[in-house]
Amino acid sequence: MSTVAPIGNRESVADALASMSPENESWLKLMMDNPSSDDVLLDGLHLYLDRAAAGRFLNTLKLQKVGEWIGSAAPARIQIRLSEAAKSSQHPAFIAFREGYNRSGGLQRAYPAAKI
């Protein structure tokens, strides 16, 4: 994906999540650093999950890995939206992504529990 522009679209984000090469990971991190690209990133995540849900073969380990990676790499400002995306369906693809995302602990790092 060396032809991907710094400002992508939802299809390029979904393709990058599907392949998860080191080049795509760095491009996605670059997108996460730019608050104006949050909507495109999340739309691409939804497209990636929808494609996985519609596919003939469900690779749950890959979905868990993507969930864990994005939960670890994403900044605090989008952790709640990632959590909402992970909980948006009961399809096994979304459940696998949610398991990986929860394993990353991204939401807990972004919003730690109050010490009462």
- The pLDDT-based confidence of 116 (bands split at 50, 70, 90) is confident
Q: CA 20, CA 76: separation in Å to the nearest integer?
A: 21
pTM of the shown model: 0.87
11 has pLDDT over 70: yes
**CB contact at 8 A, 10 and 44:** yes
Burial 11-46 (b: 16+ CB within 10 A, else e): ebbbbbbeeeeeebbebbeebbeeeebbebbbbbbb
- The pLDDT-based confidence of 6 (bands split at 50, 70, 90) is low
> Any idea what DSSP says for residue 2?
T
| Average pLDDT in the chain | 90
- The pLDDT-based confidence of 1 (bands split at 50, 70, 90) is very low
Q: Report the largest interatomic distance among the alpha carbons of the chain, rounded to a whole angstrom.
A: 51
**Mean local confidence (pLDDT), 3-25:** 84
Closest Cα partner for 20 from 74, 80, 78, 62? 62
